[in-house]
Chain A
């Protein structure tokens, strides 16, 4: 039986959606252990419900960053004799940091940005490249444990109705110099309306808006549609909107029912983050823009003319 670990995360007292997605996939591969960087008492039952039969928990990290602390705790458990065949990580800040540190400790390669995994005849993972046009399948040829990270929404989260798992303490060993970084304050940026990666409708703006204050049109349209505003990397880099708005390879992966891209040309970086949307509407003045290649409805026109009329029409409907 394949021994699968999942790096499990919680937010606001519950496992993250990404964690539940990975657990759902993991239980189809073998026996599942969830590894929690923190106190697991509040989320253990939910981890069990989605398929974990065992949970390792480090306990409070005391301000240490997860990358260095959780990887060290994982290494200690592996050295202690419970060695997994494969560890699934979410493709996010903490997931990346933990797997990176662990890869050096174990001297194992990492495969990132995956959307699928198979354990038939060895462990292999699938990664989309070139904006998702090409799928590359790569097999781990070295020895286990294999380390792989998966993009959000690669798998659908479904409860298995599993029982409460066994919770085992996995203490963080002495970190020495590597443990020097300490979190002194945590800031949560409040946002109104639905979360970008969970909204049914997403309206994103790009460089075609021309200037920062035109982004207000995107926010207005998103609000009228009860959706979330998003952005391309270009305008995040330009400082028009915070990083948390970014849709794409480096930002959020979204799969809403409707995605409206306003003034976005469709760089690979952006397309991988939104091409799973059910319906895509694009507005761009360049009819050669790559975004039109994946749009269900494309309007070749100036966003400064189309958006105000669209907003007015929606306002008129009340």
Chain B
């Protein structure tokens, strides 16, 4: 069973985000890391391939400047190879463009039995790419998967809902998006990190994939205003001296909720 995982390489979430003054899009310069949300998909893929008794896990990613450090993390976990689409023409791409590009990258790898994505990225969190990708590829999909079992030629998925969860069956090939916490991502071993250095990453441009993104990137939208939100007035901050709870009791009394 072959699985392709869509991985995003993002600025370290520990560093504060900023908007580019010119393009008014999220700054993505500096070193990029593997989005933690995607580590669950990589782990899920590795476990499913193991359980199937054969096959491999491949990666597709889109990032500026030929950035591969996040992909190397996924390779160190155990993925076999990857395709990176890196093209200045794709800067500021909207989610639909991203989905079209990833679809072309998936096709370059010859497709797969299963494609896995996170439910949303941790930096842009548009949250639409997985389902858009499925539509571009003409595949069925199960989003918000919290448990996945492969049973012959089909998937059995527990799918998160507002009220609980649904049991869903879906024939392969298919696409799933997985929620954070669906599996426990492994830490790359030293051996894995060393091996990852020599695993192949095919870096391509949009043109190499036979797609012409002219007029796509950021298509159909234009940022017209960036403003500061109204700040909340500063509150009372006190150090707990053992009696801090009385402050809370008094606060709740004052609001007449107790």
Establish whether residues A112 and B181, one from each chain, have CB atoms under 8 Å apart when the complex forms: no
Establish whether residues A236 and B160, one from each chain, have CB atoms under 8 Å apart when the complex forms: no
Task: Decide: A99 near B128, CB < 8 A? Known: A108-B220, A180-B140, A301-B239.
Answer: yes
For A201, the closest partner residue in chain B by CB is B257
For B173, the closest partner residue in chain A by CB is A177
Tell me the smallest distance from the CB of A275 to a CB of chain B, in Å. 7
Asked if B142 is at the interface (CB within 8 A of a chain A CB), the reply is: yes
Establish whether residues B125 and A292, one from each chain, have CB atoms under 8 Å apart when the complex forms: no
Asked if A212 is at the interface (CB within 8 A of a chain B CB), the reply is: no
Residues in A125-161 with C-beta less than 8 Å from chain B: 128-130, 132-142
Rounded to whole angstroms, the CA-CA distance of A141 and B218 in the bound complex is: 10
Asked if B29 is at the interface (CB within 8 A of a chain A CB), the reply is: no
Q: Which residues of A contact B238 (CB under 8 A)?
A: 297-300
Pairs across A and B, CB under 8 Å, 9 listed: A93-B143, A130-B17, A141-B220, A176-B138, A181-B169, A184-B169, A250-B180, A287-B237, A294-B232
Tell me the smallest distance from the CB of A148 to a CB of chain B, in Å. 10
Which of A109, A132, A183, A268 is within 8 Å of B94, CB to CB? A109
Tell me the smallest distance from the CB of A238 to a CB of chain B, in Å. 7
Tell me the smallest distance from the CB of A226 to a CB of chain B, in Å. 9
Tell me the smallest distance from the CB of A285 to a CB of chain B, in Å. 8
Q: Which residues of A contact B139 (CB under 8 A)?
A: 177-178
Rounded to whole angstroms, the CA-CA distance of A103 and B180 in the bound complex is: 25
Listed in ascending order, the chain B residues whose CB lies under 8 Å from chain A are 16-17, 19, 24, 26, 94-96, 99, 119-120, 122, 125-132, 134-136, 138-144, 146, 159-171, 174, 179-181, 218-229, 231-232, 234-240, 242, 244-249, 251-252, 255, 257-258
List the 8 shortest-distance A-B pairs measured between CB atoms, nearest first: A301-B240, A142-B220, A180-B140, A100-B131, A109-B220, A104-B135, A137-B225, A298-B237
For A312, the closest partner residue in chain B by CB is B245
Establish whether residues B96 and A258, one from each chain, have CB atoms under 8 Å apart when the complex forms: no
Establish whether residues B226 and A310, one from each chain, have CB atoms under 8 Å apart when the complex forms: no
| Given A100-B135, A101-B132, A299-B244, 20 new contacts (CB under 8 A) | A68-B135, A103-B128, A108-B220, A109-B95, A110-B96, A112-B125, A137-B224, A138-B221, A142-B219, A181-B140, A201-B257, A236-B181, A237-B181, A268-B17, A279-B255, A296-B235, A297-B248, A297-B251, A309-B245, A313-B246
Which of B126, B160, B245 is within 8 Å of A306, CB to CB? B245
Task: Decide: A134 near B19, CB < 8 A? Known: A181-B169, A280-B235, A314-B249.
Answer: yes
Establish whether residues B224 and A68, one from each chain, have CB atoms under 8 Å apart when the complex forms: no
Asked if A92 is at the interface (CB within 8 A of a chain B CB), the reply is: yes
Tell me the smallest distance from the CB of A135 to a CB of chain B, in Å. 5
For B160, the closest partner residue in chain A by CB is A243
Establish whether residues A298 and B235, one from each chain, have CB atoms under 8 Å apart when the complex forms: yes
Tell me the smallest distance from the CB of A138 to a CB of chain B, in Å. 5
Tell me the smallest distance from the CB of A158 to a CB of chain B, in Å. 23
Asked if A220 is at the interface (CB within 8 A of a chain B CB), the reply is: no
Asked if A96 is at the interface (CB within 8 A of a chain B CB), the reply is: yes
**Quick one: CB contact mask for A228-261 with B, threshold 8 Å, 1 for yes?**
0000010011110001100001100000011010
Tell me the smallest distance from the CB of A52 to a CB of chain B, in Å. 22
Establish whether residues B131 and A96, one from each chain, have CB atoms under 8 Å apart when the complex forms: yes
Main secondary structure of the interface of B (DSSP, over half): mixed
Establish whether residues B164 and A313, one from each chain, have CB atoms under 8 Å apart when the complex forms: no
Tell me the smallest distance from the CB of B13 to a CB of chain A, in Å. 8
Tell me the smallest distance from the CB of A295 to a CB of chain B, in Å. 5
Stretch in A25-33, A38-46, A162-170, A185-193 touching the partner? A185-193
Task: Decide: A225 near B258, CB < 8 A? Known: A108-B220, A189-B164, A258-B252.
Answer: yes
Which of A111, A135, A299, A314 is within 8 Å of B247, CB to CB? A299
Asked if A85 is at the interface (CB within 8 A of a chain B CB), the reply is: no
Establish whether residues A257 and B99, one from each chain, have CB atoms under 8 Å apart when the complex forms: no
Tell me the smallest distance from the CB of A1 to a CB of chain B, in Å. 23
Rounded to whole angstroms, the CA-CA distance of A136 and B138 in the bound complex is: 33
Which of B122, B144, B221, B228 is within 8 Å of A134, CB to CB? B228
Main secondary structure of the interface of A (DSSP, over half): mixed
Q: Which residues of B contact A34 (CB under 8 A)?
A: none
Asked if A302 is at the interface (CB within 8 A of a chain B CB), the reply is: yes
Asked if A76 is at the interface (CB within 8 A of a chain B CB), the reply is: no
Establish whether residues A107 and B96, one from each chain, have CB atoms under 8 Å apart when the complex forms: yes
Task: Decide: A313 near B235, CB < 8 A? Known: A65-B168, A134-B19, A140-B221.
Answer: no
Establish whether residues A178 and B135, one from each chain, have CB atoms under 8 Å apart when the complex forms: yes
Rounded to whole angstroms, the CA-CA distance of A70 and B38 in the bound complex is: 28
Establish whether residues A134 and B227, one from each chain, have CB atoms under 8 Å apart when the complex forms: yes
Q: Which residues of B contact A280 (CB under 8 A)?
A: 232, 235
Q: Which residues of A contact B234 (CB under 8 A)?
A: 293
Question: Which of B19, B134, B227, B239 has the most CB atoms of chain A within a 10 A radius of its CB?
Answer: B134
Which of A92, A111, A181 is within 8 Å of B170, CB to CB? A181
Rounded to whole angstroms, the CA-CA distance of A132 and B228 in the bound complex is: 9
Task: Decide: A250 near B164, CB < 8 A? Known: A181-B169, A299-B248.
Answer: no
Which of A100, A181, A310 is within 8 Å of B174, CB to CB? A181
**Quick one: CB contact mask for A264-278 with B, threshold 8 Å, 1 for yes?**
000011000001000
